[in-house]
Structure 1
Amino acid sequence: MFVRKYKDKWRFGERYKDPLTDKWRTITISADRNTRNTRHEAQITLDKKINAKLANITGERNKHAQMTLGELYDTYWKEKRPSWRYTSARTYRTSYKVFFNHFDSEAKLSKITSLMLTNHFDSLISEVLKKQKNKSYKGTSNIHSISGLKIYYARVSMMFNYAVRKHFIRETPFKDVHIEWPKENHRALIEQKYLDDDELKILLNYFRKVMPDFADIFEWQYLTGMRFGEAAALYLKDIDPLKKLVHVNGTLMYNAGRKEDFVKQNVPKTDSSFREIALSDRAIEIYRKHAKGKRQKDFLFTDEEGYPYSVQHANNYLKIFRKTHDFGKIISTHTFRHTHVSKLAELGVPLYVIQHNVGHSNSKITRDVYLHVTKKAQQELRNKLNKM
């Protein structure tokens, strides 16, 4: 390191070789004084700046600059976030929030072992199983199912795979993480995802008494297969009552928090989410009811002040409903989409038509519900034929 006085300041500098050109470069910083402490601090700062510049050129981190989990997350998020849609980014952030509730962001990336991760996931599995047995048990995370835990596992492992690809670490600790996932009753799990006719009737009647708008939105989801955010983002102009069609072309963004700032994002969840859906007579009735006194550019489903509803608001009401009505089902706004799938499957509608309605080009849940319902209908038919 060299030190030079420049006007009324001291300039500390260091040279390094550019790995692309083999030319020597110089980097400097300024300080008010030239003491032992300032020289020591200057050397540390210069080393960090040089390491950062070399990392930007080579893509590799200096071996002496150990990356923390927080630095990995910041780097990963900065690169990946622009490619994710808003709703996807929100769910990813939720997963990483769970991870950093268990692992300190200042922890060194190279210090994370497969045993630490194995113990972490084993602990979460135990927690999820407790939640399934005791609904009042809170736990340390918002993960309530083994399938949800598998999604969390995949998202965290993706971040570590990124670290390997960028040469931040030699290999991912997930390489030796072996999880014994509990065996689940697949049939029971599928049946938990949708409501039968009686259950749907009970739920809608309940909401017609306590929150009529939500009763209409939930029924609209059931009739169309739309996501809650897609339904909440509908303008009157998106519905053609004469042709009995709804044009799905966006979703509602809730990131601002205040309902006054909710806006329509003109990009649905996936590319296949852009679609037209045929509306039943009952759906048209719901449309006409909520369209009264509104302009074409107004939201269809709104509160008394004219603002659209958030999915969090709707799910909070569904949580209250579950406290007095235990169907043994997973009840959220997504339940009505799955119920739409189950009903169309029961009616013999082809899978590709159902996938179009729900905006899924390839969804395992949609396919599983469809196959489960159709197999169940075939078995019931066999039972009836055996009685002939």
Structure 2
Amino acid sequence: MWITEKKNGKGTRYMYRERFQDERTGKNIAVSITLNSNSRHAQKIAAEMLRDKFQKKVGNQKEEKAARIESLTLAAVCDEWLSVSDLTVKELTRRNHRAVIRKLQSQLPPGILFNDFTPAMAEKVVNTLYYLDALSFNYVNGLLVLTKAMLKYAKKAGYTNDISDFESIRLKRRPATPEELKKRSNKFLDQKELKECLSQLSRINYRVSLAMEFISLTGLRGGELLALRREDVDLDKRQLKVTGTLVNTRKNGDELQRGTPKNIYSYRTVDLNTRAVQILEWFYTDNKRQEQWGRRGNSLCSKYKDRGYIFTTTTGMPYNLPFIDRLLRQVDIPGKHISAHIFRHTHITMLAAMGVPLKAIMQRVGHNKPDTTLGIYTHVSESMQKELCEKLDRISV
């Protein structure tokens, strides 16, 4: 406690000040009172008054916080958590997080209070989405993971003391239906389907057909392909380096948004075969042609501007993945949903069929977990086993 003497027209007065620590938060709280005396008796009274004032102030804060938590909505807590989470993730991840949280809120009563959100309600939401609505395991489990992350934040913020019942919720993978098993096998193209797909696509947009063929030869992700610059390619060594990805959330007309790859394993060097080199050389030549024609006033190429990117539109801007996927929807391969990603899976399939070790495939395509690679690898192995059985029947003595 410290004392400050103050003089005014009414005489001399003494301000007593003290700083106390709030045990709950660890923060220091300063309080003060004013008395007409600084005698020992006055100091003793001041010390009691300061402590009472501190206790009252802390009590009021507790009541105010309790009242605020009592009226706090789940949506408000979600928004607060998202604003913190947004600082640590990429733009596309931020959008995905917000979409998943909206899905969670859509399954609950509108305006539900945070205190009314129970573990039983959370478990019912994930079970309904997975077992009744038949959404994918990865999606629903991801929703559960984000829900738990939001609740961990709420605990740190002091909105709740115990989230153990939420953390104990687990989503049990149900047996795959025949439709789901068929869907898994539809994530890649066999050689005949690939040839037909590229043939149809070349009649729709020749440049895009070459770009998709390049993915099937290298296993690049769509964003990695579009982010490729000439400086990332060494044609003499027949190699390219993956050092970035194009953010596909950009709008038409926006400046390029070249971000970092998906994860640390995505930084890699990819060897190129002869056909992949030919495709790169074609784009180098055609992009140069468009730039020169534009300089000469050719109206078709007048908007072309060389930005160093390889797989570009006639303006020199990298293609937009949603635009590519819209073109691919015009391709008709029975039983297959054609998107840019199917060509990446097709590349993995071809490597697996050639007997390339799983680890080598993962390194080439930038996988850090074997789940996706192994799923395709196993399917191809089963197909090869079936082919072997058929050939065994032809053996005769």
Q: TM-score range by the shorter chain?
A: 0.7 to 0.9
Deviation of 1:377 (Å) = 1.5
Structure 1 match to 2:68: 65
Pairing 1:356-371 to 2, within 5 Å after superposition: 356-371=363-378
Does structure 2 retain, via aligned residues, the 8 Å contact 1:194–1:335? yes
Deviation of 1:213 (Å) = 2.2
2:281 paired with 1:288: yes
Secondary structure at 1:387 match in 2:
coil
Q: Which amino acid aligns with 1:220?
A: F
Does structure 1 retain, via aligned residues, the 8 Å contact 2:201–2:328? no
Structure 1 147/361 Cα, relative in aligned 2: closer, same or farther at 3 Å?
closer
Pairing 1:150-299 to 2, within 5 Å after superposition: 150-164=141-155, 166-169=157-160, 170-171=162-163, 174=166, 182-185=174-177, 187-265=181-259, 267-292=260-285, 293-294=287-288, 298-299=308-309
Does structure 2 retain, via aligned residues, the 8 Å contact 1:164–1:172? no
Provide runs of 4+ in structure 1 moved above 6 Å. none
Structure 2 match to 1:124: 129
Deviation of 1:241 (Å) = 1.2
Does structure 2 retain, via aligned residues, the 8 Å contact 1:249–1:274? yes
Does structure 2 retain, via aligned residues, the 8 Å contact 1:259–1:309? no
Q: Which amino acid aligns with 1:153?
A: L
- Give the TM-score normalised by the residue count of structure 2: 0.72
Between the aligned partners of 1:21 and 1:224, the Cα distance in structure 2 is 57
Runs of 5+ unmatched residues, structure 2: 1-17, 33-56, 292-305
Between the aligned partners of 1:353 and 1:219, the Cα distance in structure 2 is 21
2:327 paired with 1:317: yes
Between the aligned partners of 1:258 and 1:82, the Cα distance in structure 2 is 25
Give deviations 1:213-241, integer Å, cap 9, x for gaps: 22122111111111100000111121111
Structure 1 312/163 Cα, relative in aligned 2: closer, same or farther at 3 Å?
same
Give deviations 1:125-158, integer Å, cap 9, x for gaps: 47744xxxxxxxxxxxxxx644433333333333
Structure 2 match to 1:36: none
Structure 1 331/150 Cα, relative in aligned 2: closer, same or farther at 3 Å?
farther
Secondary structure at 2:270 match in 1:
strand
Does structure 1 retain, via aligned residues, the 8 Å contact 2:307–2:316? no
State the number of aligned residues.
326
Does structure 1 retain, via aligned residues, the 8 Å contact 2:307–2:317? no
Between the aligned partners of 1:202 and 1:25, the Cα distance in structure 2 is 80
- Give the TM-score normalised by the residue count of structure 1: 0.73
Deviation of 1:357 (Å) = 1.4
Structure 1 match to 2:35: none
The alignment-based identity, stated in percent, is 24
> Which of 312, 317, 321 lines up with 1:307 in the alignment?
317
Does structure 1 retain, via aligned residues, the 8 Å contact 2:141–2:171? no
Deviation of 1:249 (Å) = 0.3
Runs of 5+ unmatched residues, structure 1: 1-14, 27-46, 55-60, 130-143
Larger Rg, first or second structure (1 or 2): 2
